Amino acid sequence: METLIYKSSIFIHILAGFLSLALGLVAMIAKKGSQIHNRAGLVFYWSMTVIFITTIIFMILDPTSLRYQFFLTIGIVSFYPNWSGRRMLSMKKGINPTTIDLAAAWTIGLSGLIMLGYSIYGFLNTKQFQGLEYLFLVFGIVSLANAYGDLKIYLGYQKAEKMHWFLAHGGKMMGAYSAALTAFCVNIVPRYFPAQTPFFVFILTWVLPGFLIGIISGRIIKNYKKKFKMV
């Protein structure tokens, strides 16, 4: 029974991954607010949701596996911008976080702290972690940055800028897309690496997609700020 659940979840996970890659790109290219953008974005959102759910299933099936413990935390840092990015659409008239919004932001913050804990333990047990300690460190910091960015506004420590909902929606959804692209690179690209490929190259497949998408996202947001006369 567990084997059937696992194989079914793998199939659904992969299918949702391809849908998120394809429709996420369509949503980014399409005119914002258009029917194509909205429909493609909705498919992207639910595809990322399915990916997160199947990741939880993998963890439940093998909770002692370090690999799936890592994937669960990666699932959280991937799903949070997807979920909170869509939530921004309901805050056009003002940033009024609900209890769920606050709980989600605190959850990714806690997940970030747990990842940093894993990282420290991993650096003390490098043979067991085999490089995962670096990834726990990087994505732990990313998780904490996500939590900090939202909580400082949700808790009233910083006033939301003009058109925050629009800029945050775009930035978060592109962050979620970078997670989908990273998953593709991690699972496909290394298959074509030659033997004796340096270890840091494998780390780059995890880090480089998000870094590049981050640069692109930053430039797009900067252009929109100019358009909205915010700079």
At 152-176, the pLDDT tens digits run 999 999 998 888 999 999 999 999 9
| Position 167, amino acid | L
Q: What mean pLDDT value characterizes the chain? A: 92
Q: What is the pLDDT of residue 199?
A: 83
d(CA 30, CA 32): 6
Q: What is the pLDDT of residue 17?
A: 92
d(CA 171, CA 148): 15
Q: What is the pLDDT of residue 155?
A: 95
> Strands, E, within the chain: which ranges?
none
Residue 157 phi/psi, 5-degree rounding, is: -80, -20
Question: What sign for the dihedral angle of Cα 17, 108, 141, 172?
Answer: positive
Q: Which of helix, strand or coil describes residue 131?
A: coil
d(CA 179, CA 74): 9
Residue 188 reports pLDDT greater than 90? no
The parent domain of residue 67 ranges over: 2-227
- Name which residue leads in pLDDT, 74 or 189: 74
Q: What is the pLDDT of residue 1?
A: 65
Residue 93 reports pLDDT greater than 70? yes
Q: What is the pTM of this model?
A: 0.91
Q: What is the pLDDT of residue 231?
A: 67
Q: How many domains does the chain have?
A: 1
Q: Which residue has the tokens 């002692």?
A: 64
Q: Pick from 51, 62, 200, 72: which is nearest to 143 by CA?
A: 72
Q: Which of helix, strand or coil describes residue 160?
A: coil
Q: Which residue has the tokens 């976080």?
A: 97
Residue 65 reports pLDDT greater than 70? yes
For residue 117, the tally of other CB atoms under 10 A from its CB is 12
